[in-house]
Amino acid sequence: MDFALNEDQNKLIGAFRAFGMETFTPERVAKWCRDQGLPDTVMKEFVDLYYDTAEDDVPADVAHSLLSQALIVEELSRCAGTSLPFQTDLFNLQIMRGFAGDGEAASIVEDYRAAGRLMFALAISEPDGGSDSMAMKTSCQTVDGRLLLNGRKSYVNNGEYAPYILTAAIDRDDAGEGKYPPLSFWLIPRHAPGINAVPISKIGQSMLPFALISFDDVELDPAWRLDDAQGGFRRLFGLLEYGRVLLCASSLGMAQAAMDDAVEHARSRKAFGMQVGRFQQIETMLTDMEVRLRNMRSMVYRAAWAVETADDEERLEVALMKRYVPRAAVEVASDAMQILGGLGYTEGSRVSRIWEDCRGNQIAEGTDQVMVYIAAPLIMEKYRSF
């Protein structure tokens, strides 16, 4: 299996590296983290580059593949040294394509290209469910002739500000029987009566403003239901793998940024009359960090390839990646903090921000424990006939 990048992929990386290095200066990143988001101009520049590159320089099937999206997210996360909203937008678009009709999805993409921001926030996770989507309690049901939505959603990125909320809910009017409860998706106007959003204060990932959304007898218009909301939880589980690949690509990029900072410091810093990078302990740490980075990169690219090609081991590849990559990224960032010493242990330090963001990624999109729950039965099956 050859994972060497081709000419088009390298061209894509070069274009986004130039954009990232020019855009994400340390001063700007610090300000945008305090502001909890990127300016509209930066969001629009990214969207224009993402779509124009596919039209002008790189074939669309290459530029917009999952592996290429992972390469883009990795590169921009490395440039910025923090979690960015781009991977969330790309994942949300994938959910929209998975559950909406062609016309509806195309309209969303058209609006995204015109405005530079998605018109909706994605609401799936719940306070009592966490990584267990099957524990979803938010539901819609017809009561006295009115179709009502009730429940709560947690960690809704941009949930306070997006004009619409794409909400997953159990359809209590559907009496269908099966392994999974009936799942529906609704594109609901943010200011519909009965919707309330409260910001969530969290550690790290400052550019991603999250909110807790509550739905109290929100009357649904049938027109808000996505046209192609079939397949329910089974389809959702498959789409979540896209989000995990992009999240791990972000962790990989941030870990590489931590490595960049650690190596630069090891080269330039002197202590006890010699270059810090020549201390045996620092040499050992840098070597182990590089091993982790290479393993992380291999797992991210392999998982992206497996998802796109519907490889037989797709679910196992993604679960192993999600189990390993964020944790390894935290370890790389932690070692970088140690190498930088007091400089790394400050709020203004890029590496301390990376550590916080990567630690959060261990929880997001499925915890380490959930990945074991997914992976272990697949491993047992894989080796059953050995």
DSSP-assigned letters across all residues of 212-236: EEEEEEEEPPGGGB-TT--SHHHHH
pLDDT of residue 230: 63
- What does the block give as tokens for 40? 């509209």
Tens digit of pLDDT per residue, the chain (386 long)?
556 888 999 999 999 999 999 999 999 999 999 999 999 999 999 999 999 987 777 887 787 999 999 999 999 999 999 999 999 999 999 999 988 888 888 999 999 999 999 999 999 999 987 767 778 999 999 999 999 999 999 999 999 999 999 999 999 988 666 678 888 999 999 999 999 999 998 888 999 999 999 999 999 999 999 966 566 888 888 899 999 999 999 999 999 999 999 999 988 877 777 787 778 888 999 999 999 999 999 999 999 999 999 888 999 999 999 999 999 999 999 999 999 987 778 777 899 999 999 999 999 988 888 899 999 999 998 888 66
Return the closest-CA partner of residue 3 out of 302, 313, 352, 381. 302
Give the start-to-end residue ranges of the domains of the chain. 7-118, 121-224, 232-382
Cα 62 off chain centre by: 20
CA distance 132 to 121: 20
What 8-state DSSP symbol labels residue 221? Answer: P
- Strand segments, DSSP code E, in the chain are 120-123, 139-143, 146-157, 164-171, 183-189, 195-199, 210-219, 270-271, 274-275
Q: What does the pLDDT read at residue 179?
A: 74
Residue 385: DSSP 8-state: T
Predicted local distance difference test score (pLDDT) of residue 247: 97
**Domain 121-224 adopts which CATH fold?**
Butyryl-CoA Dehydrogenase, subunit A; domain 2 (2.40.110)
Q: What DSSP string runs through 308-324?
A: HTT-TTHHHHHHHHHHH
For 7-118, CATH gives: 1.10.540.10
Domain covering 232-382 in this structure, CATH number:
1.20.140.10
Q: What is the pLDDT of residue 60?
A: 78
Question: What's the pTM?
Answer: 0.93
Which pLDDT score, from 0 to 100, does residue 129 have?
74
Report d(CA 330, CA 305) in Å as an integer. 24
